[in-house]
């Protein structure tokens, strides 16, 4: 039986995953508005992934006969200074999600809730993958000295993100 504190954290994560989905959808739309179809495809690809994460948390709570509470989802930002700013914000968001997942894993261990700890291993590995992915993108940004301005560097990063969208599946 899950402790009430763990149930609360798992339900909070459902809302966090919904926010992540909306964030990436908004980022994709912003990229489309800027004519960055490659970046738009990359961020759009993350939307169903975040929704599948939401569903995993819901399913786990149901399997544990625990109540599911879907909380209100804050609106994501709609404006970004430029593509680099947006990529940095996406990376910062993934770091926050990692912290949330790690805090739940720590709580599960504290409670000797090994089933929840085991379930969270998928998300721990997933967050490592996301951090590596976004660090790699930021490395490419640095490599081409892209600071957000239009021109060749923006074109190269947009093309790089397009390649990731077509080769990187979750």
For 79-136, the pLDDT digits (tens) are 999 999 999 999 999 999 999 999 999 999 999 999 999 999 999 999 999 999 999 9
DSSP string, 119-139: HHHHHHHHHHHHHHHHHHHHH
Q: Residue 66: inside a domain, yes or no?
A: yes
Q: Residue 150: inside a domain, yes or no?
A: yes
Number of domains, the chain? 1
Is 17 labeled as ligand-binding?
yes
Distance CA 167, CA 43 (A): 13
Is 50 labeled as ligand-binding?
yes
Model pLDDT for residues 33-85, shown as the tens digit of each residue: 999 999 999 999 999 999 999 999 999 999 999 999 999 999 999 999 999 99
Q: Residue 76: inside a domain, yes or no?
A: no
Range of the domain at 121: 4-71+81-167
DSSP label of 74 = P
Is 94 labeled as ligand-binding?
yes
Q: Residue 137: inside a domain, yes or no?
A: yes
Q: Residue 53: inside a domain, yes or no?
A: yes
Distance CA 144, CA 41 (A): 21
Q: Residue 154: inside a domain, yes or no?
A: yes
Q: Residue 51: inside a domain, yes or no?
A: yes
CATH number for position 11: 1.20.1260.10
The confidence score (pLDDT) of residue 145 equals 80
User: 169 pLDDT band (50/70/90 cuts)?
Assistant: low
Model-level pTM? 0.93
The answer to whether 125 touches 4, Cβ cutoff 8 Å, is no
């Amino acid at each position: 039986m899950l402790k009430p504190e763990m149930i609360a954290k798992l339900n909070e994560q459902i809302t966090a995953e919904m926010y992540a989905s909306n964030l990436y959808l908004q980022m994709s739309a912003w990229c489309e508005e800027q004519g960055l179809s490659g970046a738009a495809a990359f961020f759009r690809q993350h939307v169903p992934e975040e929704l599948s994460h939401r569903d995993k948390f819901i399913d786990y709570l149901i399997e544990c006969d625990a109540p599911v509470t879907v909380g209100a989802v804050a609106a994501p930002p709609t404006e970004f200074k430029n593509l680099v700013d947006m990529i940095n914000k996406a990376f910062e968001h993934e770091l926050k999600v990692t912290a949330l997942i790690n805090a739940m894993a720590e709580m599960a261990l504290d409670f000797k809730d090994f089933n929840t700890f085991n379930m969270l291993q998928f998300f721990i590995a997933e967050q490592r993958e996301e951090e590596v992915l976004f660090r790699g993108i930021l490395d490419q940004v640095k490599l081409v000295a892209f600071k957000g301005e239009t021109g060749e560097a923006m074109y190269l990063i947009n093309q790089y993100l397009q390649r990731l969208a077509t080769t990187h599946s979750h």
